[in-house]
Structures are given as C-alpha cells and as structure tokens.
Amino acid sequence: MRFSQTRSPVAPAERRHGWPPANRGVPFLSPRLGSAIALLGCLLLVGCAGSSSGISSREGTLSISAEAVAGPVGGGAGFALALRAAEGEGSDGTTTQRYEGRLVINGTVLARVSTLGISALQDRVTFSATVPLIPGPTEFALELLPASHTAATSPLLKGYYRVNVNDAGITVATVTLNAGTTAKALAYEAWRQRPGPTLRNISQFTGDVSALSGLVQAWLNTRMTTNIIPGADFTWGEAIIREASRVADLAPMPGTGETGVLDLAEGALELFYDREWLVTSPPDSVPSVPGSVVGITFFKLPPNNLPTLGNWFRYHPRPQTTADQTPVIAYLPEATSLDDVASAPATFYPQALDRYPFPTALAEGQVYAFHVGDTYGALQITQIAPTTSITFRYKYNRRPGDPRLR
C-alpha cells in the first residue's frame, strides 16, 4: 500500500514521550524473551517518521504476536537450535537466537527480534513486536530470516497482513507464518510489479498459490531442518520464482479510479507472413525500419525458419536501434482460453517462443499476451497455415496503458 506524502504511518518521534511499555497487552513467551521484546517493542526508525506539519496529532499502537511454522508435524522442515548453550541461547531450549523476526512497513524494517521462543519439537518459533503508528488502514509484512542474513538473503517465511490501527489504545494482531503465507507473499510481490493501479494491497490479491505453496514447502524441507540452520546465502529456487510470476500474471487486477471503466475490443484476424499488426489498425507490410510503434509480425525465425509471432526487426539485419529490441509478446502456458487472461503480465519478449517453458512451435489453442505501443491484449491461435498465415482470436484494452483484460 502507499501512504500520503503528508501522513506517515509511523508516529513522529516528538510524540513518543508517553509511549506505554512494550509488554502491555502482549503475552510473553519466556522471561528472557519478554525482556528482549520490552526493549525492542519501542523501536522506531527515525528515518521512517514523517516531518510534515500536516501529520495527524493522533497516535495509535500496533502490537503483533507471530508464530512461524516450519511445516506439517513430522515433516522435513524444522528450526535448528544452537549446538552449544554457550552460544547465547537459553540452556532450557525454549529460546533460539539463530533467527531474526522482522516487522516491515512500506519496505522499511521497523522492528527486529533476535531472541525467539521455540517449541519442544522445533517445528515453530514465536516472536512479538510493538510499534507506534498513525491510525488508519495499515499493511505490514512479517519476515523470518537466518540470524546471519545479509541484504541479499531471502526471508525463510513471510506474510503480508492488513489491519486498521485504532487512534486510542493498542491494536492487537495475531498472525501465522507458514509455506502458504510465504507463497502468497512471493506472488503478491510479483503482482505488485505488474503494470496497473499503484494503490494495491494484500486484500485485493486473489491469485491461486496452492501449487506454489507446495514448491515452497519442498524447498524448506531440505534447507531448513532441526539439524540444518539456513545461511546468509538462502534464496528461493528458479522454479519457485517462475511459479510466483505465473500466479501473478493470472491474478485479476483491481479496478480503481486510476484506470477507469474497462473497455475491451474483441475479434479475429488472419495474419499473413511478414505482415505487421499494430493492433489498432489493419495489418500492413513490414516497413524496412521500425516505426515509432513495433507491432506483431508472423515470420520465420532464423536460423531454422520456425514460424513465430513477434518483433520481426529483432531477427532480421537492420541498424541496431532500441525499437529493434522491443518486446511485444509473452507465452501464457497456464491459460487455455482468452477468458483465463485477466490482466497482461509484467514481462514481454521479442518473439513468441522466448518465455519459459518454451513451446517447441506455435500450435492451435496456445494463448499469448501482447503489448504493442500502449495497448495491452491477448490472443489465442485458432489455425495455422504453415506456409502462408496464422489465424487467432484476440482481445485488447482500448484504454492506453491499462493491462486489465477481464
């Protein structure tokens, strides 16, 4: 979510003189953890506080209790303890310093907890944090990282949550982090990078993360166990990143006043070899050099002369210009019809066989998204005449720059 430039979500430092103790209204997990939370509960990063005279004089308090679950009971994932009590962890095995819990708002870390409660089965850890905030709707993220993390380390578990912070007393939130919330966080972050409305929040994200959750859990099962402490080099695998991108590409985009009413054009087209379709005008012969807008061409891809759709200029000798490299199309292997495409993806490619997993060839039924000039759309191949033309159904948004397609 995005806050107004004149209202910061974090209460300004000059009004913290009456700040209540951090343990007020928050159940502690152990005496040692309690003292740590009491210290960290009042943490406030000065750089995150607004300094405008327009900031509200009201102040609220957000108190969060989190439980991070490694996975199913008896599963492969778990939380490792220190090998020696002398390394600073509780000798009774109820706390661990091998991980760090973080509270993040608008990309800024507002609280860090370095001593966490840990269950006897080492399948879950717990931590709490309390911060002063400007009252109103607030989106926050909770992250769990290895204690050795660097700026390049991915969170082991993560979740995004939205609450309404009261302007009096303490607003309490109790949340759980697991493979499911982590999968949703990864897909949500990819979804927020897509073109479209900038005012988006986690409650608007409805992508299906069921398959992604399984991939996340499998990744944790071998890299985060009761005997293995993840290191600073922990990151998510390529298959997980691809699936998060796929989920984000299919998730509907909220309609807001920023984009206006949806205005779709639909139809069918036969596109002949070496003809360029600029979407908002009929196909024409491909010019000798790129114009201000690069369209979609049906052409033979060097060096094997494989029929493809995309930016013809990229693959035929021409003076190198920015237009030569324009990405205009993206394969959507997860879609089986145009109805499946709710919004254009964030990334496009020069030709139809570029996006993983690569199709071996164009085929009837395949669905692609396209971005020509300021126009977003999608097409589905209905017929291919290998030596002459390709026919497809299409839809596109008449509103320039609007990626919504459903």
Distance, in Å, from the CA atom of 200 to the CA atom of 186, rounded to the nearest integer, reads 15
The 10s digit of each residue's pLDDT in 65-117 is 999 999 998 889 999 987 554 455 555 679 999 999 999 999 999 999 999 99
User: What is the predicted pLDDT for the residue at 327?
Assistant: 94
User: What is the predicted pLDDT for the residue at 85?
Assistant: 45
Distance, in Å, from the CA atom of 140 to the CA atom of 211, rounded to the nearest integer, reads 25
CB atoms under 10 Å from CB of 304, counted, come to 6
Q: Where are the domains of the chain?
A: 13-250, 264-397
- Which of 403, 360, 405 is CA-nearest to residue 193? 403
Distance, in Å, from the CA atom of 98 to the CA atom of 79, rounded to the nearest integer, reads 9
Using an 8 Å Cβ cutoff, are 64 and 87 in contact? no
User: What is the predicted pLDDT for the residue at 54?
Assistant: 35
User: What is the predicted pLDDT for the residue at 323?
Assistant: 79
Parallel/antiparallel/unpaired status of strands 329-331 and 367-372: antiparallel
Angle of helix 179-192 relative to helix 210-223, nearest 10 degrees? 120
- Which of 62, 67, 66 is CA-nearest to residue 22? 62
User: What is the predicted pLDDT for the residue at 59?
Assistant: 81
CA 354 to chain centre: 22
CA 313 to chain centre: 33
* Segments of the chain with pLDDT less than 50: 1-8, 12-57, 85-86, 256-260
The 10s digit of each residue's pLDDT in 254-294 is 764 444 467 888 999 999 999 999 998 889 999 888 888 99
Angle of helix 210-223 relative to helix 238-250, nearest 10 degrees? 160
User: What is the predicted pLDDT for the residue at 69?
Assistant: 97
User: What is the predicted pLDDT for the residue at 195?
Assistant: 80
Residues whose CB falls within 8 Å of the CB of residue 282, separated by 6 or more in sequence, listed in order: none
